[in-house]
């Protein structure tokens, strides 16, 4: 079984506590949101980041402060939805706005 990664690991945003960009842009609240700790196998809200961004980002509902995109369009959101649906194999054929293709096997 693969280790489930958190949003800041997937995005490599550097805004987690102690991250390279956290002093410039401020720390992201997701890693510290222990209310969601363990949800979908994540640390803090690392695999439920859309719940935090919806509730208090100040940017708008379901918008990530890193890329400023809707969570439902986010590759990480889609990846978690697929992984947590317990499908053995799934591929999203449509490329995202970043040009990535998600493939879970």
Q: Which residues contact 81 (CB under 8 A, 6 or more apart)?
A: none
Structural domain containing residue 61: 7-104
- Asked whether residue 2 is domain-assigned, the answer is no
pLDDT in the model for residue 57: 47
Asked whether residue 55 is domain-assigned, the answer is yes
pLDDT for res 34 = 93
Q: Is residue 54 part of a domain?
A: yes
At residue 52, the pLDDT reads 81
Q: What's the pLDDT band for 43 if we cut at 50, 70, 90?
A: very high
Structural domain includes residue 91: yes
Domain count, the chain: 1
Q: Is residue 41 part of a domain?
A: yes
Is 15 within a domain?
yes
Dihedral sign computed on CA atoms, order 26, 35, 83, 73: negative
Residue 42 has pLDDT above 50, yes or no: yes
Distance, CA of 40 to CA of 97 (rounded, Å): 25
In a domain, 1, yes or no: no
Are the beta carbons of 44 and 6 closer than 8 angstroms? yes
The runs of H, that is alpha helices, within 1-105 are 7-11, 22-25, 49-56, 75-84
């Amino acid at each position: 079984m693969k280790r489930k990664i958190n949003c800041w690991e997937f995005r490599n945003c550097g805004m987690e506590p102690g991250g390279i960009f956290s002093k410039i842009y401020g720390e992201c609240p997701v890693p510290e949101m222990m209310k969601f700790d363990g949800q979908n196998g994540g640390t803090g809200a690392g695999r439920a980041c859309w719940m935090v961004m919806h509730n208090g980002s100040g940017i708008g509902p379901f918008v990530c402060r890193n890329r400023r995109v809707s969570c439902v369009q986010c590759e990480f959101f889609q990846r978690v939805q697929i992984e947590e649906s317990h499908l053995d194999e799934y591929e999203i054929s449509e490329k995202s706005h970043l040009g990535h293709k998600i493939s879970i096997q």
